Amino acid sequence: MVALYNPAIEQFPFTKTSCNTSTLFPAIPLIDLSKPDAKTLMIKACEDFGFFKVINHGVPLEFISRLEAEAVKFFSLPLSEKEQAGPPCPFGYGNKSIGPNGDLGRVEYLLFTANQDSNLQRFVYPLGKNPEKFRAALNDYVSAVKKMACEILELMADGLKIQQRDVFSKLLMDEQSDSVFRLNHYPPCPDIQALNNTIGFGEHTDPQIISALRSNNTSGLQISLRDGRWISVPPDQNSFFINVGDSLQVLTNGRFKSVWHRVLANSLKSRVSMIYFGGPPLREKIAPLPSLMEGHEQSLYKEFTWFEYKKSAYSSRLADNRLIHFEKIVAS
Ligand code: OGA
Ligand code: NI
Protein backbone atom coordinates (compact mmCIF):
# COMPACT_ATOMS: atom_id res chain seq x y z
CA MET A 1 0.00 0.00 0.00
CA VAL A 2 1.34 3.42 -0.84
CA ALA A 3 0.37 6.88 0.26
CA LEU A 4 -1.56 9.12 -2.03
CA TYR A 5 -0.16 12.55 -2.20
CA ASN A 6 -2.09 15.72 -1.78
CA PRO A 7 0.14 18.73 -2.45
CA ALA A 8 -2.59 21.06 -1.24
CA ILE A 9 -2.16 19.83 2.30
CA GLU A 10 1.54 19.20 2.13
CA GLN A 11 2.66 20.65 5.39
CA PHE A 12 5.00 19.79 8.12
CA PRO A 13 5.08 18.64 10.84
CA PHE A 14 2.78 15.72 10.78
CA THR A 15 0.00 16.70 8.55
CA LYS A 16 -1.75 13.43 7.95
CA THR A 17 -2.29 12.60 4.32
CA SER A 18 -5.16 10.24 4.01
CA CYS A 19 -4.76 7.19 1.77
CA ASN A 20 -8.09 5.62 2.52
CA THR A 21 -10.41 5.97 5.43
CA SER A 22 -8.55 3.53 7.60
CA THR A 23 -4.90 4.35 6.96
CA LEU A 24 -3.07 7.59 7.60
CA PHE A 25 0.40 8.51 6.46
CA PRO A 26 2.47 11.51 7.37
CA ALA A 27 3.33 13.83 4.49
CA ILE A 28 6.92 14.17 3.35
CA PRO A 29 8.50 17.11 5.22
CA LEU A 30 8.82 20.17 3.02
CA ILE A 31 11.57 22.71 3.66
CA ASP A 32 11.57 26.09 1.97
CA LEU A 33 15.20 27.20 2.06
CA SER A 34 14.16 30.84 1.78
CA LYS A 35 12.17 30.77 5.02
CA PRO A 36 13.59 31.52 8.47
CA ASP A 37 12.11 28.35 9.98
CA ALA A 38 14.05 26.13 7.52
CA LYS A 39 16.66 25.04 10.03
CA THR A 40 14.20 24.13 12.77
CA LEU A 41 11.97 22.13 10.44
CA MET A 42 15.00 20.47 8.93
CA ILE A 43 16.21 19.19 12.30
CA LYS A 44 12.79 17.73 13.03
CA ALA A 45 12.67 16.13 9.57
CA CYS A 46 16.12 14.56 10.06
CA GLU A 47 15.08 13.19 13.45
CA ASP A 48 11.69 11.88 12.37
CA PHE A 49 12.31 10.78 8.77
CA GLY A 50 15.97 11.23 7.82
CA PHE A 51 14.45 12.69 4.69
CA PHE A 52 12.86 15.88 3.37
CA LYS A 53 11.99 17.77 0.23
CA VAL A 54 13.60 21.12 -0.54
CA ILE A 55 12.19 24.05 -2.51
CA ASN A 56 13.77 27.42 -3.26
CA HIS A 57 17.03 25.51 -3.45
CA GLY A 58 18.95 27.92 -5.67
CA VAL A 59 20.06 25.32 -8.23
CA PRO A 60 19.36 26.83 -11.67
CA LEU A 61 16.66 24.83 -13.44
CA GLU A 62 18.65 25.28 -16.62
CA PHE A 63 21.53 23.23 -15.15
CA ILE A 64 19.06 20.51 -14.23
CA SER A 65 17.36 20.28 -17.60
CA ARG A 66 20.66 20.44 -19.49
CA LEU A 67 22.09 17.52 -17.52
CA GLU A 68 18.86 15.54 -17.79
CA ALA A 69 18.91 15.98 -21.57
CA GLU A 70 22.51 14.74 -21.73
CA ALA A 71 21.68 11.78 -19.50
CA VAL A 72 18.66 10.83 -21.62
CA LYS A 73 20.81 11.07 -24.73
CA PHE A 74 23.42 8.79 -23.20
CA PHE A 75 20.94 6.20 -21.94
CA SER A 76 19.27 6.13 -25.37
CA LEU A 77 22.46 4.88 -27.02
CA PRO A 78 22.72 1.21 -28.05
CA LEU A 79 23.80 -0.99 -25.15
CA SER A 80 27.10 -1.84 -26.82
CA GLU A 81 28.05 1.85 -26.91
CA LYS A 82 27.05 2.46 -23.33
CA GLU A 83 29.02 -0.58 -22.23
CA GLN A 84 32.16 1.06 -23.52
CA ALA A 85 31.84 3.34 -20.49
CA GLY A 86 31.83 0.35 -18.14
CA PRO A 87 31.98 -1.80 -16.19
CA PRO A 88 31.87 0.39 -13.10
CA CYS A 89 34.98 -0.21 -11.01
CA PRO A 90 33.81 1.71 -9.17
CA PHE A 91 33.15 4.52 -11.67
CA GLY A 92 31.56 4.10 -15.06
CA TYR A 93 28.47 2.58 -16.66
CA GLY A 94 26.59 -0.23 -14.99
CA ASN A 95 23.49 -2.13 -15.98
CA LYS A 96 21.23 -4.13 -13.63
CA SER A 97 24.07 -5.11 -11.34
CA ILE A 98 24.41 -2.82 -8.30
CA GLY A 99 27.62 -3.07 -6.29
CA PRO A 100 30.05 -5.99 -6.28
CA ASN A 101 27.96 -8.52 -4.34
CA GLY A 102 25.18 -9.71 -6.59
CA ASP A 103 22.46 -7.09 -6.07
CA LEU A 104 20.29 -6.63 -9.12
CA GLY A 105 17.77 -3.96 -10.10
CA ARG A 106 15.90 -2.76 -13.15
CA VAL A 107 18.26 0.15 -13.53
CA GLU A 108 21.22 1.32 -15.56
CA TYR A 109 23.52 4.01 -14.28
CA LEU A 110 26.63 6.12 -14.60
CA LEU A 111 28.78 6.66 -11.54
CA PHE A 112 31.31 9.49 -11.25
CA THR A 113 33.66 10.75 -8.61
CA ALA A 114 32.56 14.19 -7.52
CA ASN A 115 35.50 15.47 -5.56
CA GLN A 116 36.89 18.81 -6.46
CA ASP A 117 40.28 18.02 -7.81
CA SER A 118 39.02 15.39 -10.16
CA ASN A 119 36.45 17.92 -11.37
CA LEU A 120 34.68 15.04 -13.11
CA GLN A 121 37.05 15.58 -16.00
CA ARG A 122 39.11 12.54 -15.31
CA PHE A 123 36.27 10.22 -16.13
CA VAL A 124 38.19 8.36 -18.77
CA TYR A 125 35.36 6.48 -20.42
CA PRO A 126 33.71 7.59 -23.63
CA LEU A 127 30.57 9.54 -22.71
CA GLY A 128 28.44 9.37 -25.82
CA LYS A 129 28.72 11.45 -28.96
CA ASN A 130 29.53 14.81 -27.42
CA PRO A 131 31.43 14.06 -24.22
CA GLU A 132 32.57 17.66 -23.71
CA LYS A 133 29.00 18.89 -23.60
CA PHE A 134 28.10 16.12 -21.17
CA ARG A 135 31.06 16.95 -18.94
CA ALA A 136 30.27 20.66 -18.92
CA ALA A 137 26.66 19.90 -17.92
CA LEU A 138 27.91 17.58 -15.16
CA ASN A 139 30.33 20.14 -13.79
CA ASP A 140 27.78 22.95 -13.68
CA TYR A 141 25.17 20.77 -12.07
CA VAL A 142 27.42 19.11 -9.51
CA SER A 143 28.97 22.44 -8.41
CA ALA A 144 25.53 23.97 -7.86
CA VAL A 145 24.16 20.95 -6.01
CA LYS A 146 27.23 20.70 -3.83
CA LYS A 147 26.75 24.36 -2.88
CA MET A 148 23.14 23.65 -1.95
CA ALA A 149 24.15 20.56 0.05
CA CYS A 150 26.71 22.64 1.97
CA GLU A 151 24.11 25.31 2.73
CA ILE A 152 21.75 22.65 4.02
CA LEU A 153 24.49 21.16 6.20
CA GLU A 154 25.26 24.62 7.60
CA LEU A 155 21.60 25.16 8.43
CA MET A 156 21.63 21.79 10.17
CA ALA A 157 24.68 22.75 12.24
CA ASP A 158 22.95 26.01 13.15
CA GLY A 159 19.74 24.20 14.02
CA LEU A 160 21.72 21.84 16.24
CA LYS A 161 23.28 24.91 17.94
CA ILE A 162 26.78 23.88 16.96
CA GLN A 163 29.16 26.86 17.07
CA GLN A 164 31.18 25.77 14.09
CA ARG A 165 28.72 26.28 11.28
CA ASP A 166 30.82 24.44 8.72
CA VAL A 167 31.43 21.39 10.89
CA PHE A 168 29.64 19.14 8.35
CA SER A 169 29.97 21.17 5.16
CA LYS A 170 33.77 21.38 5.44
CA LEU A 171 33.91 17.63 4.88
CA LEU A 172 32.27 18.08 1.46
CA MET A 173 34.38 21.17 0.70
CA ASP A 174 37.63 19.35 1.50
CA GLU A 175 39.72 18.84 -1.62
CA GLN A 176 39.83 15.17 -0.81
CA SER A 177 36.16 14.77 -0.06
CA ASP A 178 35.09 11.33 -1.22
CA SER A 179 31.87 12.46 -2.88
CA VAL A 180 30.12 10.61 -5.65
CA PHE A 181 27.64 11.50 -8.34
CA ARG A 182 25.21 9.07 -9.91
CA LEU A 183 22.83 9.16 -12.86
CA ASN A 184 20.19 6.43 -12.74
CA HIS A 185 17.86 5.41 -15.55
CA TYR A 186 14.92 3.09 -14.86
CA PRO A 187 13.35 1.89 -18.10
CA PRO A 188 9.58 1.36 -18.08
CA CYS A 189 8.32 -2.11 -17.26
CA PRO A 190 5.35 -2.68 -19.57
CA ASP A 191 4.74 -6.24 -18.36
CA ILE A 192 2.23 -5.56 -15.60
CA GLN A 193 2.55 -9.10 -14.33
CA ALA A 194 6.26 -8.67 -13.77
CA LEU A 195 5.80 -5.17 -12.39
CA ASN A 196 4.43 -6.34 -9.06
CA ASN A 197 7.70 -7.73 -7.92
CA THR A 198 10.14 -5.70 -9.94
CA ILE A 199 12.54 -3.62 -7.98
CA GLY A 200 14.34 -0.72 -9.64
CA PHE A 201 16.78 -0.18 -6.80
CA GLY A 202 16.56 -2.35 -3.70
CA GLU A 203 16.15 -0.99 -0.21
CA HIS A 204 19.20 0.57 1.37
CA THR A 205 20.54 3.54 3.26
CA ASP A 206 23.10 5.84 1.65
CA PRO A 207 26.47 5.54 3.38
CA GLN A 208 27.74 9.10 2.98
CA ILE A 209 26.80 12.24 4.95
CA ILE A 210 24.04 13.63 2.78
CA SER A 211 22.46 12.76 -0.56
CA ALA A 212 20.65 15.26 -2.77
CA LEU A 213 18.35 13.58 -5.27
CA ARG A 214 16.53 15.11 -8.18
CA SER A 215 14.40 13.06 -10.56
CA ASN A 216 12.12 13.62 -13.49
CA ASN A 217 8.39 13.43 -12.87
CA THR A 218 8.20 9.60 -12.86
CA SER A 219 7.29 8.02 -9.53
CA GLY A 220 9.04 5.04 -7.97
CA LEU A 221 10.96 6.30 -4.96
CA GLN A 222 9.75 5.09 -1.59
CA ILE A 223 11.04 5.71 1.91
CA SER A 224 10.54 3.64 5.01
CA LEU A 225 8.96 5.29 8.04
CA ARG A 226 10.35 4.58 11.49
CA ASP A 227 7.57 2.03 12.04
CA GLY A 228 8.68 0.11 8.94
CA ARG A 229 5.85 1.17 6.60
CA TRP A 230 6.90 2.21 3.12
CA ILE A 231 5.48 5.39 1.62
CA SER A 232 5.75 6.64 -1.94
CA VAL A 233 7.50 9.92 -2.52
CA PRO A 234 5.58 11.87 -5.15
CA PRO A 235 8.11 12.99 -7.75
CA ASP A 236 8.72 16.69 -8.29
CA GLN A 237 11.17 17.58 -11.02
CA ASN A 238 11.73 21.10 -9.68
CA SER A 239 12.63 20.10 -6.13
CA PHE A 240 15.36 18.18 -4.38
CA PHE A 241 14.99 15.31 -1.95
CA ILE A 242 17.55 15.08 0.82
CA ASN A 243 18.59 11.84 2.53
CA VAL A 244 20.44 11.63 5.82
CA GLY A 245 23.30 9.20 5.21
CA ASP A 246 24.86 6.73 7.67
CA SER A 247 27.81 9.06 8.35
CA LEU A 248 25.53 11.89 9.46
CA GLN A 249 23.70 9.46 11.72
CA VAL A 250 27.01 8.72 13.44
CA LEU A 251 28.17 12.35 13.54
CA THR A 252 24.92 13.20 15.39
CA ASN A 253 25.20 10.12 17.63
CA GLY A 254 21.98 8.71 16.26
CA ARG A 255 19.93 11.89 16.71
CA PHE A 256 19.47 11.94 12.95
CA LYS A 257 18.71 8.59 11.36
CA SER A 258 19.73 7.56 7.88
CA VAL A 259 16.66 6.81 5.80
CA TRP A 260 15.85 3.43 4.22
CA HIS A 261 14.69 3.95 0.66
CA ARG A 262 14.13 2.01 -2.57
CA VAL A 263 12.81 2.47 -6.09
CA LEU A 264 10.00 0.38 -7.57
CA ALA A 265 9.74 -0.11 -11.31
CA ASN A 266 7.15 1.98 -13.16
CA SER A 267 4.93 0.54 -15.86
CA LEU A 268 4.69 3.38 -18.31
CA LYS A 269 7.42 5.96 -18.04
CA SER A 270 11.13 5.87 -17.59
CA ARG A 271 12.59 7.46 -14.51
CA VAL A 272 15.81 9.44 -14.59
CA SER A 273 17.37 10.45 -11.31
CA MET A 274 20.57 12.28 -10.47
CA ILE A 275 22.04 11.97 -7.02
CA TYR A 276 24.92 13.81 -5.40
CA PHE A 277 26.35 11.90 -2.43
CA GLY A 278 28.39 14.22 -0.22
CA GLY A 279 31.04 12.22 1.60
CA PRO A 280 34.04 12.94 3.85
CA PRO A 281 37.72 12.44 2.97
CA LEU A 282 38.87 8.84 3.36
CA ARG A 283 41.10 9.64 6.35
CA GLU A 284 38.32 11.39 8.26
CA LYS A 285 37.29 9.94 11.63
CA ILE A 286 33.54 9.46 11.74
CA ALA A 287 32.51 9.95 15.35
CA PRO A 288 29.78 11.84 17.20
CA LEU A 289 30.55 15.55 17.55
CA PRO A 290 31.58 16.29 21.15
CA SER A 291 29.32 19.36 21.18
CA LEU A 292 26.33 17.13 20.59
CA MET A 293 27.06 14.84 23.51
CA GLU A 294 25.02 16.21 26.34
CA GLY A 295 26.08 15.50 29.90
CA HIS A 296 27.29 11.96 30.19
CA GLU A 297 26.03 10.85 26.79
CA GLN A 298 28.27 8.12 25.41
CA SER A 299 29.07 7.50 21.79
CA LEU A 300 26.86 4.78 20.35
CA TYR A 301 29.60 3.90 17.87
CA LYS A 302 33.13 2.58 17.86
CA GLU A 303 35.66 4.90 16.27
CA PHE A 304 36.28 4.43 12.58
CA THR A 305 37.46 6.32 9.54
CA TRP A 306 35.45 6.71 6.36
CA PHE A 307 38.01 4.44 4.69
CA GLU A 308 37.36 1.70 7.25
CA TYR A 309 33.64 2.08 6.79
CA LYS A 310 33.92 1.81 3.03
CA LYS A 311 36.16 -1.22 3.32
CA SER A 312 33.65 -2.98 5.53
CA ALA A 313 30.76 -1.90 3.29
CA TYR A 314 32.49 -3.35 0.26
CA SER A 315 31.64 -6.88 1.31
CA SER A 316 28.03 -6.06 2.19
CA ARG A 317 24.79 -6.50 0.26
CA LEU A 318 22.65 -3.50 -0.62
CA ALA A 319 20.03 -4.19 2.06
CA ASP A 320 22.52 -4.82 4.88
CA ASN A 321 22.68 -2.52 7.86
CA ARG A 322 26.29 -1.50 7.39
CA LEU A 323 26.51 0.47 10.63
CA ILE A 324 25.84 -2.58 12.75
CA HIS A 325 29.55 -3.51 12.76
CA PHE A 326 30.39 -0.15 14.26
CA GLU A 327 27.76 0.03 16.97
CA LYS A 328 28.90 -0.29 20.56
CA ILE A 329 27.27 -2.95 22.67
CA VAL A 330 25.65 -0.84 25.34
CA ALA A 331 25.59 -2.45 28.77
CA SER A 332 22.11 -2.39 30.21
C1 OGA B 1 20.65 5.69 -4.96
C2 OGA B 1 19.19 5.87 -4.87
C3 OGA B 1 17.14 6.53 -5.97
C4 OGA B 1 16.66 6.90 -7.35
O5 OGA B 1 21.18 5.73 -6.10
O6 OGA B 1 21.30 5.53 -3.91
O7 OGA B 1 18.66 5.73 -3.80
O8 OGA B 1 15.59 7.44 -7.46
N9 OGA B 1 18.52 6.21 -5.97
O10 OGA B 1 17.39 6.62 -8.30
NI1 NI C 1 20.12 5.67 -2.21
Residue nearest to atom 6 of ligand 1 (CA): 206
What band does 21 get if pLDDT is binned at 50, 70 and 90? very low
pLDDT digits (tens, 9 = 90+) for 208-231: 999 999 999 999 999 999 999 999
Neighbours of 36 (CB within 10 A): 7
Q: How far from the centroid of its chain's Cα atoms is residue 310's Cα? A: 16
Cβ 106 under 6 angstroms from ligand 1: no
Which amino acid is it at 290? P
What band does 5 get if pLDDT is binned at 50, 70 and 90? very low
Neighbours of 139 (CB within 10 A): 16
Q: Tell me the average pLDDT across 303-327.
A: 94
The per-residue b/e assignment along 311-327, b for 16 or more CB within 10 angstroms, e otherwise, is eeeeebebeeebbeebe
pLDDT of 217? 96
Q: How far is the CA of 245 from the centre of ligand 2 (A)?
A: 9
Q: How many residues does the chain have?
A: 332
Average pLDDT over the chain, rounded to an integer: 89
The rounded distance, in Å, linking the Cα atoms of 56 and 71 is 24
Q: Half-sphere exposure of residue 243, counting CA atoms within 13 Å on the CB side?
A: 29
Cβ–Cβ < 8 Å for 256, 244: yes
Q: Tell me the average pLDDT across 140-166.
A: 97
Q: How far is the CA of 297 from the centre of ligand 2 (A)?
A: 30
pLDDT of 20? 42
Burial class (CB in 10 A: 0-12, 13-18, 19+), 123: buried
